[in-house]
């Protein structure tokens, strides 16, 4: 595949306290184009922010026929799709292997709906390491928390 023939999406979430105020961010790259998205929720969890970043990124993509590669530092998000956790949860009526309800089901269902309309591949990168785009995404997510914390 030639450069520019896939949309690469980096996502990250941050939370001050868990639960607490949280931020999410996504950086989308396609060829020479780049777009940054970010947002804030006053009371949330880190996992919700990781999911929200992926949901909002996919919702923003208008070109439905281009393959998408999502790069996340959340194994929670990546493994749900690459290790078929989500299919198991659905088979069991949204119950985990620990026999508890799946947390964040609303976001999982939205993410599942969005990925069903697109060609999505999931990759993992180590957070807080040498991946400069992941680090930028983390800074955007944390920046949302810092920006809004002074108003809470």
Q: Name the residue among 105, 51, 114 with its Cα closest to residue 78.
A: 51
Q: Is 138 a catalytic residue?
A: yes
Q: Is 12 a catalytic residue?
A: yes
The single residue of 12, 41, 56, 110 carrying the catalytic annotation is: 12
Place of tokens 């957070």: 127
Cα 83 to chain centroid, rounded: 16
Number of C-beta neighbours around residue 15 at 10 A: 23
Contacts of 44 (CB under 8 A, 6+ apart): 15, 19, 20, 21, 22, 52
The single residue of 4, 73, 127, 148 carrying the catalytic annotation is: 73
Q: Is 130 a catalytic residue?
A: no
The single residue of 65, 116, 128, 130 carrying the catalytic annotation is: 128
Q: Is 73 a catalytic residue?
A: yes
Task: Work out the burial of residue 10: count CB atoms within 10 Å of its CB; fewer than 13 is exposed, 13-18 middle, 19 or more buried.
Answer: buried
The single residue of 41, 50, 56, 110 carrying the catalytic annotation is: 50
The single residue of 13, 23, 41, 110 carrying the catalytic annotation is: 13
Which residues belong to the active site? 12-13, 50, 73, 128, 138
């Amino acid at each position: 595949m030639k450069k520019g023939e896939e949309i690469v999406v980096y996502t990250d979430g941050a939370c001050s306290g868990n639960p607490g105020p949280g931020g999410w961010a996504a950086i989308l790259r396609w060829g020479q184009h780049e777009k940054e998205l970010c947002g804030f929720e006053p009371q949330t969890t880190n996992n919700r922010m990781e999911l929200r970043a992926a949901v909002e990124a996919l919702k923003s993509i208008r070109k439905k026929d281009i393959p998408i590669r999502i790069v996340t530092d959340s194994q929670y998000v990546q493994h749900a799709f690459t290790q078929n956790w989500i299919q198991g949860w659905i088979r069991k009526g949204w119950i985990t292997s620990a026999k508890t309800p799946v947390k964040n089901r609303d976001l999982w269902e939205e993410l599942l709906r969005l990925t069903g309309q697109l060609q999505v591949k999931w990759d993992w990168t180590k957070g807080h390491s040498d991946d400069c785009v992941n680090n930028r995404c983390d800074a955007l997510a944390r920046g949302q928390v810092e920006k809004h914390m002074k108003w809470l």
